[in-house]
Amino acid sequence: MTPTAAAPPVCSYLETVGRTPLVRLSERSLPAAARHATVLAKLEMANPGGSLKDRIALTIIERAEARGEIAPGRNTIVDFTSGNTGIGYAMVAAAKGYRCIIIMPKRAAMRERYMICRLFRAEVRLWNPALGVPGVTEYVKQLVRENPELWWANQMGNDDNPQAHASTTAPEIWAQTEGRIDYFIAGLGTGGCLAGVGAFLKEKNPAIKIIAVEPSNCRVHVGGGHDPHSIVGIGTGVHSSFLSGAELPAEALSDLPRGVIDEWGHVSSEEAVGAARRLAATEGMMVGPSSGAVIEYALRVAARPEARDKTIVAMCASHAIRYTSHPLWGEVAAEADVALPAGEPPCVDEAAPIMLWSSDSGKDGAPHLSLSAGE
Domains annotated for the chain, with CATH where assigned, are: 13-48+169-323 (3.40.50.1100), 53-152 (3.40.50.1100)
Distance in angstroms (rounded) separating the CA atoms of residues 37 and 64: 42
- How many Cα atoms within 13 Å fall on the side-chain side of residue 33? 9
Residues 152-185 have pLDDT tens digits of 999 999 999 999 999 999 999 999 999 999 999 9
Residues 257-299 have pLDDT tens digits of 999 999 999 999 999 999 999 999 999 999 999 999 999 999 9
The pLDDT of residue 373: 42
- Show the CA angle centred on residue 63, arms to residues 62 and 67, nearest 5°: 115
The pLDDT of residue 5: 64
Distance in angstroms (rounded) separating the CA atoms of residues 375 and 370: 9
**Which residues are annotated as catalytic?**
53, 290
Q: What is the pTM of this model?
A: 0.92
The pLDDT of residue 363: 52
The pLDDT of residue 152: 98
- Whether the predicted pLDDT of 366 surpasses 50: no
Residues 18-52 have pLDDT tens digits of 999 999 999 999 999 999 999 999 999 999 999 99
Q: Is 349 helix (H, G, I), strand (E, B) or coil?
A: coil
